[in-house]
């Protein structure tokens, strides 16, 4: 144990933070059931915090409640009573009646059985009397409640939808459902099959992506033929027993089937175009007319609950049968008919707690679609969750070392609460479900670990760090470096950084016209202004090389936007030089011109040298390329050149013009280089010139010399400061006169450093 603690506290806060972030990421990607359970509960709390919403007026519930059972009798009811209920609702003007009931078996009628037995006995006795046959047939029809209900459905002025459920797995492998039985069952629910399927991807989806059902428990064929449609009433709870998702698509056989709620709504809206949209990742959603209904990959819909049980208006079936309701109660509405009595076992757990009936779940789904009030767990949610884990972990790990114990606690609690509030805000105002538990776990683990780390260890060598780094970083950065004294040790690390080289053009010639004292004053004034700009953007001054400046961004402190900082520094340097030149001209001195090269990439950074004397610097091919770009400004007549690697990081923030593809000395692989012109909001004329230059560059690379030359000549006339256009005019003339070989790739070889 002692060895473990010694190893732990020999690490620095960044190592601990990185390790803990990695640990949480592994746990997140592996999926730990306990933490997932906590996330589900955090999700449920978001519902409770947002309050109750008003339901749609188009949806009402006809509830077979305890009062109804007292009136009619135990459940299930005779089919003639269901028919009577449907008739009364239909006569009041309901547009759609959806029965959240499974009528899959013939009704067990003793009277009908007796009539059938009597008919068989009469025929066995050889009695043939047409009047007797008609009498038996009439009474058989009267006693056949299934037929009675079917005729009621056929004669209903409302559109009637019947429910059914799916067997998701084969219950008894030794007694499978016969193929003919399955075919008959699928025919009975054919009206709930999606009419259109639109697939935008190219690959075939694996079967497991769908909710695959074994067989439907379909309505009686006589009833399904009489009804206007059918719909599935199956719901699938999460492992903790709570209903958060609703299956909008279930695959059975070769077909995709819709639920009762969507079928009823589709009928209510007079059957607009309805299709399942599928891409390479799975089911994208359902398109119904102009409404797009989002789902997750398997076709499940995230239910946006409006409130606790009985948020929707309930009308007791007993009151309806006794005609104790106001005329027009059901006019032009969707009426969901189903059981809500506790004894019928159709109650479910939801984020608002237990006691929620399946009837209300169907009503909620229809309300969500009518209002387009959707919840989503979008595909970018995983990326968001990963970024939240990393960002919160880094913010905690980087912030705590800078704060006292009390401020650190308040800081961590602030991050904790901010993430909760952001998650709640996304949920309530935008309908997005993002993970709370894993990012908060990261904050908790990093905070606890670093608090223990600082409790058992002390910061060392503060003065040494301060003195060492204050020479080549700003005071603010030096103070930050006090938190990580380990960086002062001899050695280096490989990091992705940006390096900036700046050099005065023709400095040797300028220096010849000045006395040593004047030269020193001029150079000191210039270097002071330029160094202040580097420090302004928290860059690290690597070194002065005569009149040249070498600066690094992204080290010693991590800066995710190091390329942006380097480019901003370069633009400010050029702007500051204009002011210096105006001052020097007034003093009778010659103005200066500078060239700046910037490259981003992997570099070795750290303290290089001996134990007695070392220098904090960067090394590597990426550094050398930055130096080459600085020198290339003389060839192209530019002030700031950046590599393609820097351009990819700043392309959305600055106006850049692709200048050439070059092969620098000592390297075989070509590099695209860009001229950094300014911020993205430059005037349109400059952007027009850039677009025109890119067009000319395309013609140049296609060896269409005349077209390219005309474009570059036009640029020369439009913008005299763009000297690179003149270079390309000359190149086009030369290459036209001396065409390159077939292996020419448009790359310019820089033979000098």
3-state SS, 500-544, equals: EEEEECCHHHHHHCCCHHHHHHHHHHHHHHHHHHHHHCCCEEEEE
- Structure tokens, 341: 């009595």
Phi/psi at 653 (nearest 5 deg)? Answer: -110, -20
At 8, the pLDDT band (50, 70, 90 cuts) reads very low
- Structure tokens, 347: 């109650």
- Structure tokens, 357: 């009936």
pLDDT of residue 316: 92
* Residue 152 in this model has a pLDDT that exceeds 90: no
- Structure tokens, 137: 């047939």
CB 179 within 8 A of CB 186: no
- Structure tokens, 380: 């970018």
Over residues 557-585, the pLDDT tens digits come to 889 999 999 999 999 999 999 999 999 98
As a whole number of angstroms, the distance between CA 281 and CA 205 comes to 8
Instruction: Please state the separation of Cα 241 from the chain's center in Å.
Output: 27
Over residues 449-487, the pLDDT tens digits come to 777 766 665 544 455 545 545 555 555 555 555 555 555
* Residue 6 in this model has a pLDDT that exceeds 70: no
Exposure string of 367-391, with b = 16+ CB inside 10 Å and e = fewer, is bbbbeeebbbbeeeeeebbbebbbb
Q: Which residue has the tokens 């959603």?
A: 285
pLDDT of residue 175: 42
From its phi and psi, is residue 606 left (phi > 0), alpha (psi between -120 and 50) or beta? left
Instruction: Give the helix/strand (H/E) hosting 615.
Output: strand 614-619
* Residue 499 in this model has a pLDDT that exceeds 80: yes
CB 498 within 8 A of CB 507: no
At 2, the pLDDT band (50, 70, 90 cuts) reads very low
Instruction: Please state the separation of Cα 302 from the chain's center in Å.
Output: 16
Exposure string of 165-174, with b = 16+ CB inside 10 Å and e = fewer, is bbebeeeeee
> Count of alpha carbons within 13 Å of 445, Cβ hemisphere only?
22
Other Cβ atoms closer than 10 A to 232: 28
Q: Which residue has the tokens 């135990």?
A: 74
Q: Who has greater pLDDT, 397 or 566?
A: 566
The closest alpha carbon to 690, from 659, 728, 735, belongs to 659
Strand-pair category, 274-279 with 334-339: unpaired
Cis peptide, bond prior to residue 109, ω within 30 of zero:
no
- Three-class DSSP category at 602: strand
Give the sign of the dihedral formed by CA 96, CA 100, CA 106, CA 109.
negative
Share of the chain above pLDDT 70, in %: 81
Over residues 588-638, the pLDDT tens digits come to 888 999 999 999 999 998 877 665 555 778 999 999 999 999 999 998 999
Q: How much is the average pLDDT of 510-518?
A: 80
* Residue 659 in this model has a pLDDT that exceeds 90: yes
pLDDT of residue 354: 82
- Structure tokens, 729: 């005019």
Over residues 517-532, the pLDDT tens digits come to 888 888 999 999 999 9
The closest alpha carbon to 412, from 422, 427, 401, 426, belongs to 401
Exposure string of 476-496, with b = 16+ CB inside 10 Å and e = fewer, is ebbebbbbbbebbeeebeebb
* Residue 707 in this model has a pLDDT that exceeds 80: yes
As a whole number of angstroms, the distance between CA 320 and CA 294 comes to 36
* Residue 668 in this model has a pLDDT that exceeds 80: no
Give the sign of the dihedral formed by CA 36, CA 166, CA 301, CA 61.
negative
Query: For 318-332, 445-459, 705-719, 735-749, which range has the lowest pLDDT when averaged over its residues?
Result: 445-459
* Residue 92 in this model has a pLDDT that exceeds 70: yes
The closest alpha carbon to 233, from 246, 215, 245, 242, belongs to 246
Instruction: Give the helix/strand (H/E) hosting 678.
Output: strand 671-679
As a whole number of angstroms, the distance between CA 446 and CA 452 comes to 10
- Three-class DSSP category at 493: strand
At 27, the pLDDT band (50, 70, 90 cuts) reads low
Q: Report helix, strand and coil shares of the chain as percent, to nearest 5.
A: 50, 20, 30
At 131, the pLDDT band (50, 70, 90 cuts) reads low
The closest alpha carbon to 395, from 198, 560, 600, belongs to 560
- Structure tokens, 602: 């992997």
Please state the pTM of the whole predicted model.
Answer: 0.55
Over residues 352-377, the pLDDT tens digits come to 888 788 899 999 999 999 999 999 88
Cis peptide, bond prior to residue 259, ω within 30 of zero:
no
* Residue 9 in this model has a pLDDT that exceeds 50: no
Q: How much is the average pLDDT of 191-195?
A: 93
As a whole number of angstroms, the distance between CA 278 and CA 286 comes to 9
Over residues 420-429, the pLDDT tens digits come to 888 889 888 8
Query: For 196-205, 260-269, 558-567, 691-700, which range has the lowest pLDDT when averaged over its residues?
Result: 196-205
Give the sign of the dihedral formed by CA 464, CA 468, CA 471, CA 475.
negative
As a whole number of angstroms, the distance between CA 478 and CA 471 comes to 9
The closest alpha carbon to 571, from 729, 713, 681, 678, belongs to 678
């Amino acid at each position: 144990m002692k060895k473990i603690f010694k190893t732990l506290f020999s690490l620095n806060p960044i190592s601990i933070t990185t390790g803990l972030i990695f640990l949480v990421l592994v746990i997140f990607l592996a999926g730990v059931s306990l933490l997932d359970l906590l996330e589900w509960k955090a999700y449920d709390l978001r519902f409770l915090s947002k309050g109750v919403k008003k339901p749609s007026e188009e949806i009402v519930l006809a509830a077979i409640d305890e009062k109804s059972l007292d009136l009619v009798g135990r459940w299930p009811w005779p089919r003639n009573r269901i028919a009577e209920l449907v008739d009364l609702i239909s006569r009041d003007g309901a547009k759609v009646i959806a029965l959240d009931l499974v009528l899959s078996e013939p009704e067990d009628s003793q009277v009908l059985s007796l009539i059938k037995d009597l008919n068989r006995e009469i025929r066995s006795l050889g009695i043939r009397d047409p009047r007797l046959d008609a009498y038996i047939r009439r009474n058989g029809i009267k006693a056949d409640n299934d037929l009675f209900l079917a005729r009621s459905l056929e004669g209903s002025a409302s559109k009637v939808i019947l429910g059914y459920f799916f067997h998701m797995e084969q219950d008894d492998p030794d007694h499978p459902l016969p193929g003919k039985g399955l075919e008959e069952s699928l025919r009975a629910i054919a009206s709930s099959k999606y009419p259109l399927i639109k697939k935008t991807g190219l690959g075939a989806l694996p079967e497991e992506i769908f909710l695959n059902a074994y067989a439907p428990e379909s309505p009686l064929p006589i009833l399904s033929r009489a009804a206007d449609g059918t719909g599935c009433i199956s719901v699938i709870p999460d492992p903790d027993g709570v209903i958060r998702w609703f299956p909008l698509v279930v695959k059975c056989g070769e077909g995709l089937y819709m639920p009762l709620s969507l079928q009823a709504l589709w009928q209510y809206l007079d059957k607009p175009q309805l299709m399942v949209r599928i891409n390479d990742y799975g089911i994208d959603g359902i398109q119904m007319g102009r409404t797009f209904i989002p789902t997750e990959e398997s076709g499940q819909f995230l239910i946006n609950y409006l409130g606790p049980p009985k948020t929707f208006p309930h009308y007791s079936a007993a009151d309806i049968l006794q005609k104790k309701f106001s005329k027009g109660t059901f006019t032009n509405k969707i009426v969901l008919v189903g059981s809500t009595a506790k004894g019928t076992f159709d109650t479910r757990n939801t984020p608002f707690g237990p006691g929620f009936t399946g009837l209300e779940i169907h009503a909620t789904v229809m309300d969500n679609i009518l209002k387009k009030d959707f919840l989503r767990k979008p595909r970018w949610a995983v990326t968001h969750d990963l970024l939240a884990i990393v960002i919160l972990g880094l913010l905690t790990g980087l912030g705590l070392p800078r704060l006292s114990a009390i401020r650190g606690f308040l800081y961590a609690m602030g991050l904790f609460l901010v993430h909760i509030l952001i998650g709640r805000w996304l949920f309530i105002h935008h309908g997005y479900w993002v993970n709370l538990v894993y990012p908060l776990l990261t904050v908790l683990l990093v905070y606890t670990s670093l608090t223990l780390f600082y409790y058992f260890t002390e910061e060392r060598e503060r003065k040494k760090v301060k003195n060492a780094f204050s020479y080549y970083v700003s005071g603010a950065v030096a103070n930050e470096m006090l938190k990580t004294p380990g960086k002062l040790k001899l050695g280096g690390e490989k990091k992705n950084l940006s390096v900036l080289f700046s050099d005065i053009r023709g400095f040797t010639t300028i220096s010849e016209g000045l006395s040593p004292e004047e030269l020193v004053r001029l150079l000191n004034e210039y270097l002071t202004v330029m160094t202040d700009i580097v420090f302004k953007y928290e860059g690290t001054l690597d070194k002065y090389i005569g009149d040249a400046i070498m600066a690094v961004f992204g080290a010693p402190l991590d800066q995710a936007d190091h390329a942006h900082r380097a480019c901003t520094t370069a633009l400010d340097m050029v702007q500051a030089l204009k002011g210096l030149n105006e001052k020097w001209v007034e003093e009778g001195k010659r103005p200066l011109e500078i060239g700046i090269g910037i490259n981003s990439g992997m570099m070795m950074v750290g303290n290089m040298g001996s134990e007695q004397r070392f220098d904090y610097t960067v090394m590597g091919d990426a550094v050398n390329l930055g130096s080459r770009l600085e020198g290339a400004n003389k060839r192209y007549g530019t002030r700031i050149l950046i590599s393609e690697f820097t351009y990819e990081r700043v392309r959305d923030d600055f106006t850049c013009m692709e200048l050439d593809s070059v092969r620098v000395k000592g390297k075989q692989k070509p590099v695209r280089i860009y001229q950094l012109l300014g911020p993205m909001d430059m005037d349109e004329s400059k952007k027009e010139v850039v677009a025109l230059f890119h067009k000319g560059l395309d013609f140049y690379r296609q060896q269409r010399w005349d077209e390219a030359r005309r474009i570059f000549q036009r640029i020369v006339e439009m913008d005299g400061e763009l000297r690179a256009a003149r270079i390309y005019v000359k190149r086009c003339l030369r290459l036209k006169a001396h065409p390159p070989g077939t292996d020419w790739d448009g790359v310019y070889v820089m033979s000098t450093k």
